[in-house]
Amino acid sequence: MIKVIKEGLFSTIQDSGRFGYKNIGIPVSGAMDQASAKLANLLLGNDERSAVLEMTLLGPTLEFMNDTYISITGADMNPVLNKQKILLNKTLLINKGDILCLSHSTNGMRSYLGVKGGFNSETKLGSKSFYRGITKREKLIKNDKIKFDQAISSPKTVNKNINDFKINRKGDIKVFKGPEFDLLDTYSKDIIFNTDFTIGINNRMGYNLVEPIKNSISSIISSPVMPGTVQLTPSGKIIILCRDCQTTGGYPRILQLDKNSINCLSQKTIGEIINFKLV
Amino acid sequence: MKRNNIFFKVFNEESILIQWNDKVDINLIDSIISYKNLIEQELSEILIECVQSINSMMVIYNSNKINSEDLINTLENLYSLDLKVGETEKKIWKIPVCYDLSFGIDLEDLSTSNSISIDEIIKLHNSLTYNVLSMGFLPGFLYLGMNDKKLYCERKDKPKLNIKSGSVGIARDQTGIYPQDSPGGWRIIGRSPISFFNVDDKSPCFAKPGDKIKFQNISLSEFNQIEINKSSYKIKYEVI
């Protein structure tokens, strides 16, 4: 078990997602940066889909109530274990009573804490991912306790190359043309691949981009959308949908991010610049 | 029966979007649902899930098991077979709604803008049988069509921040029900005392696309009575 001493900004339990319920309007959810979540699990010899703790911008302070092994991946929140600085992307032995303190992230937006065997919070509709109206909690608060299974053996050596999971944060955001892309006028089609877009207000539902583009397309009949769908609103604002996005939407879907670009975007914060590039 | 033309589009590494270009109507919804049932039955090995909407469907698949080209060919063949499978029982659900002004916060505005009395709005809303077109927006939010032309109104420019659970709204030619407290832009004409989404149930929603809904006017005291015994309220229905 782990106890929340200080809650940080926004920490949630996430796994690989909630599948099979989009038809009744339930978002897929799951870790925003799936690659980092997967790495946290693989370092511990867990199933790569196990539940991890996703921490945003300012991490929590946590007390361990049992011995276990942990790993921390994704953004660097300068993790400190019992006042001693620890490294990312490593497997660490934890003793009962240890205090783990995460602070402001210095690169990236989201950090992931994996625990041997995975976190064992409540499962709702096949997933442990927090989501309002589905799980009791939508984020962790002070004094919350989250269960994990007792570690019986040390994690087996990981044979995957962890460099495969390190994200190139400087890279372009790779996209497919969306279903309504061809309805854009020639000018907009060109400008979208030649503009430095600034990241605006964002959360687990979506990322707003600051620079508008001309919108010549009217709204469409409400149609399926996915994490990574790039919508163009009537006023020309661009929204990139993320893991907690709704399942259908009425704004034209002009682009669709590839899988890894969604992970890459999830580590970007307000004010950073992105460019779109066709897959 | 001649099948409508459909178009396939690779959406991302693991999804194919199927688009119908026809006018939206209930026959199209039935045809999409029947195709979805066929895909779920025949392609369960490679399928992650199918998301149905009003004139399109997303097929999300395991890309380790099949590539997009082969899947599109398979989907095309399945569509041309036009098999009817997995026909499930369809129901008309009777949904109690209280149109008291304390719940129907936009009734007066709608009455003014559409030059129609509040009684007439309620009568029209009760007289129609709505089709469940699709679900989305919020867990268990039902998109219902189609409204009488006299009730046509655009969504609000600025969504209201706290629409109460059970609120029944109107936007364009559709009616919708808010399954939980939420921000929302639909014009609210009443509230139902029953629950539309129960996460702990095996099927968290009672209605499904293809079903029908009929609204029944109840008084404020009937509303209060049903709400007190919400968890034991049995929703009335007829099998079509």
pLDDT tens readout for residues A32-87: 999 999 999 999 999 999 999 999 999 999 999 999 999 999 999 999 999 999 99
**A277 to chain B nearest CA, in Å?**
14
- The CATH code of the domain that includes A244 is 2.40.100.10
Q: Is residue B86 part of a domain?
A: no
Say if the Cβ atoms of A224 and B205 lie within 8 Å: no
Full pLDDT tens readout for chain B, 240 residues: 446 789 999 999 999 999 997 677 788 888 899 899 999 999 999 999 999 998 999 999 999 999 999 999 999 999 988 777 666 788 999 999 999 999 999 999 999 999 999 999 999 999 999 999 999 888 999 999 889 999 999 888 777 889 999 999 999 889 999 999 988 889 999 999 999 999 998 889 999 988 999 999 999 999 999 999 998 899 999 998
Q: Where does a domain end: B81, B114, B134?
A: B81
| Nearest residue in chain B measured CA to CA from A278 | B12
ipTM of the complex: 0.90
B111 and B211 both lie in a single domain: yes
Residue A213 clears pLDDT 80, i.e. is over it: yes
Residue A262 and residue A182 share a domain: yes
Residue A248 has pLDDT above 60, yes or no: yes
Domain total in chain A: 2
Q: Which domain holds residue B37?
A: 6-81
pLDDT value of residue B96: 98
Looking at beta carbons, which residues of chain A come within 8 Å of B181?
none
DSSP A33-96: SHHHHHHHHHHTT--TT--EEEEESB--EEEESS-EEEEEEES----EETTEE--SSS-EEE-T
B74 and B162 assigned to the same domain: no
User: A116: domain range?
Assistant: 2-165
**What is the residue-wise DSSP string for chain B?**
-PPPPEEEEEEETTEEEEEE-SPP-HHHHHHHHHHHHHHHHH-TTTEEEEEE-SSEEEEEE-TTT--HHHHHHHHHHHHHH------PPPEEEEEEEE--TTT-TTHHHHHHHTT--HHHHHHHHHHPEEEEEEE-SSTTPEEEE---GGG-BPPPSS-EEEEPTTEEEEEBTEEEE-SSSEEE-SEEEEE-SS-S--TTSSSS-S--TT-EEEEEEE-HHHHHHHHHTGGGPPPEEEE-
* Same domain? A8 vs A122: yes
What is the pLDDT of chain A when averaged over all its residues?
Answer: 92
Chain B hits for A224, CB-CB cut-off 8 Å, are: 17, 51, 53, 56-58
Q: What is the pLDDT of residue A241?
A: 97
In a shared domain, residues B72 and B136 = no
Does residue B1 fall inside a structural domain? no
Residue B106 and residue B50 share a domain: no
Contact A125 B199 (CB under 8 A): yes
Q: How many CB atoms lie within 10 A of CB B2?
A: 5
- Look at residues B28, B52, B81 and tell me which one is the last residue of a structural domain: B81
Domain finish residue from A132, A165, A198 = A165
State residue A152's pLDDT score.
Answer: 65
Q: Name the domain count of chain B.
A: 2
Q: Are residues A103 and A36 in the same domain?
A: yes
Helices A34-43 and A259-266 pack at an angle, to 10 degrees, of 90
Task: Let me know if residue B68 belongs to a domain.
Answer: yes
Q: Do A125 and B140 lie within an 8 Å CB cutoff?
A: no
Question: Same domain, yes or no, for B117 and B43?
Answer: no
Q: How far away is chain A from the Cα of B183, in angstroms, using its nearest Cα?
A: 13
Residue B22 sits in a domain of what CATH number?
Answer: 3.30.1360.40
Q: Give the mean pLDDT of A129-151.
A: 92
Assess whether pLDDT exceeds 60 at residue A163.
no
Specify whether B100 is located in the same domain as B217.
Answer: yes
B95 shares a domain with B77: no
CA distances from A248 to A48, B101, B240 (A): 28, 31, 28
Are A141 and A185 part of one and the same domain?
A: no
Q: How far away is chain B from the Cα of A97, in angstroms, using its nearest Cα?
A: 35
Instruction: Using the 3D structure, point to which of A138, A165, A192 is the last residue of a domain.
Output: A165
| Whether residue A207 sits in one domain with residue A138 | no
Whether chain A has a CB inside 8 Å of the CB on B140: the answer is: yes
Please give the pLDDT value at position B25.
77
When pLDDT is cut at 50, 70 and 90, the band that residue A267 belongs to is very high
Contact between chains at B141 and A124 (C-beta distance less than 8 A)? no
Give the pLDDT of residue A165.
Answer: 58
